[in-house]
Amino acid sequence: MNLWILTEERPKKGVLKTIINRYSEDNSRAVHDLEKMRIVPDFAGGRFIFQYHLEGISIAGINEVYLKLISGNGSFVDYLVFEGICEPAEGSGENCLYAIEETKTTDSESRNTAIYQRATKFVTLDQHKGFSNAKKIMLYNDEMGDNVGKKPSGSNTNIIGSKMFKALGIEILGRDTSSIQPFSTLDELIRIKHEQRRPPDSNTAVTITKSESQNAIIVTGRLDKKGSYGKITNDPNMGQLSLICAVIRHLGWEGKIIIDKHNISQPTIDASVKNKFLKICKNLDIELQGIVLPSILQVSDYWHYEKNSEKIATIFLHIVAEEKGMRGIFQNHAGCEKSYFAGPSGELVTTEKGKNKIKKLPDLVLDIDGHIEIIEGKNSNRLSQALSDISQFGQFESTYVKPYYPVATTRRSVVLTGGNDLVLKHKDILLQISRSGLVMLNSSAPQKLIDAFSIISKISGQPETLIVEVK
């Protein structure tokens, strides 16, 4: 029997240890040498097979623990954990033990992001067949250490959100919520939400009202955000309204649920048939006031194995580098959570992107014995865009790298996923993983990075290209 941990994130050891400990507790399987755990890429015939395994640990009754990168076909939790002999069938929920959403965002940083923006993922999970037996876990991985072991901050947003999570059977880890009880009745939900402090008049309050005349629950809340021109783009409110409506249904309400004051226009709805919130409306039988919802809102498979995303190569490099003693000091892998920027003593700094802030963030930054490698990841057919992107990292360097690593040397480089088994064609390409799993490393890479690999061959006439596999 094997464990299969599937994720669309760069797997973090702390999260993996939490998952394994939880599995051990739930199944009475002893775990040994967890602190010695290493993440090792798997190769066959000198090629990466797009799979990792956990080395150095043992779990009673389990042969191997495998990791594979996947992507969700829409709103998707961060980790799925399966038990079985063979790898899970693509898209399937059969033998899924856990569905885990993980965030480093604390209540003090953003109450809405820490609670409500995550809720859409669990409500979406419930739309898909086969996952009914999976335990749903909201994991708060507080890297700053502000809330470790603490009860929620006391904000109404946090407490009400936690009560709704618990009502839907979502377990909360990383925070002490033992004093918080789930909502047990619809009237309790309406009353406590009504008592919540209202936002300024310029904002639309999220409210819940029972309309006896319409046999309906009216929920108010904007689904757009400033500048989106009536489109469904407000992620925190999508999560909050999804969660509220799911709890209303869970508590037994069979009448209408109508979302009002949403500020969404019919033309944008007609162009948004793939929108995740509209699929939730379809599944929970929710109406948008004054809007005709599309009649066809197909729900695709929940997830698929990932071999094409640009994050394949950047996550591979990140894992190898850290296992070989280098430090990842910033990550923003495509579609993954953006990390803090780590200083030389481990201090963590929030990075800002947007108007009048950092215009372009890299996908990965490595500290290699005092040399800072600033990396942009792309698919192989987007090399020209990647080269353009690395030319825009000056602001990031001056704002974060130079103040914290003033004596370090720096270089900007590109990491590519996909393409044929071709040699590296540009001096700024640090590493490429071809479509078939051939790993090609530039011979100008820092020596410590070259030493992390076994050199299989050098391309004749192209001395800068090393064909490698992990030692």
Per-residue model confidence as pLDDT tens digits over 318-327: 999 999 999 9
Same domain as 345, residue 229? no
In a domain, 301, yes or no: no
Structure tokens at 191: 């009353």
pLDDT at 53 over 50: yes
Which of 146, 173, 200 is the endpoint of a domain?
Answer: 173
Given this model, what pLDDT does residue 356 score? 60
Find tokens 């309790």 and name the residue.
Answer: 188
Residue 122 has pLDDT above 70, yes or no: yes
- Residue 114 pLDDT grade (very low, low, confident, very high; cuts 50, 70, 90): low
Among left, alpha and beta (phi > 0; psi -120 to 50; other), residue 182 is beta
Task: Give the pLDDT confidence score for residue 107 in this predicted structure.
Answer: 57
Residue 181 within any structural domain of the chain: no
Q: Is the pLDDT of residue 178 over 60?
A: yes
Judge whether 15 and 102 are in contact, CB under 8 Å: yes
- Say yes or no: 169 and 191 in one domain: no
Strand, coil or helix: what is 195? helix
Residue 415 forms part of a structural domain? yes
Strand partners, 258: 218, 287
Token pair recorded at residue 450? 């070259």
The predicted structure's pLDDT at residue 111:
53
What does the DSSP assignment read for 337-405? ---PEE-TTS-EE---BSTTSBS---SEEEEETTEEEEEEEEEGGGHHHHHHHHTT-HHHIIIIIHHHS
Residue 181: pLDDT over 90? yes
Hey, what amino acid is at 255? Answer: G
Shared domain check, 282 and 380: no
- Give the model confidence (pLDDT) of 131-176 as tens digits: 999 999 999 987 666 554 455 555 788 899 999 999 999 999 998 8
- Position 410 pLDDT exceeds 80: yes
- Asked whether residue 179 is assigned to any structural domain, the reply reads no
Domain match, 281 and 313 both: no
**Residue 180 lies inside a defined structural domain of this protein:** no
Domain count, the chain: 3
Element (H, E) at 327: strand 327-331
Q: Record the pTM.
A: 0.92
Domain residue limits at 80: 2-173
**Same domain for 228 and 275?**
yes
- Note whether 117 and 168 are same-domain residues: yes
CA 437, 80, 147 angle in degrees (round to 5)?
115
Residues 96 and 229 in one domain: no
Does some domain include residue 153? yes
Q: Mean pLDDT score of the chain, rounded to an integer? A: 91
- Closest among 453, 438, 442, 449 to 415, alpha carbons compared: 442
Query: Minimum mean pLDDT among 23-37, 42-56, 107-121, 286-300: which range?
Result: 107-121
pLDDT of residue 92: 94
Give the per-residue pLDDT at 104: 80
Do residues 151 and 82 share a domain?
yes
Length of the chain (residues): 471
Regarding whether 231 and 111 lie in a shared domain, the answer is: no
Residue 225 has φ and ψ, to the nearest 5°, of -135, 170
**Residue 231 resides in a domain:** yes
Give yes or no: residues 205 and 131 share one domain: no
The answer as to whether 25 is a domain residue is yes
135: tokens are 């335990």
Look at residues 173, 199, 223 and tell me which one is the last residue of a structural domain: 173
d(CA 394, CA 95): 48
pLDDT tens digits for 416-468? Answer: 999 987 777 789 999 999 999 999 999 999 999 999 999 999 876 677 889 99
Average of per-residue pLDDT across 174-191: 94
Question: Last residue of some domain: 141, 173, 205?
Answer: 173
274 and 360 belong to one structural domain: no
Whether residues 219 and 281 share a domain: the answer is yes
At residue 299, the pLDDT reads 65
- Are the CB atoms for 126 and 134 separated by under 8 Å? no
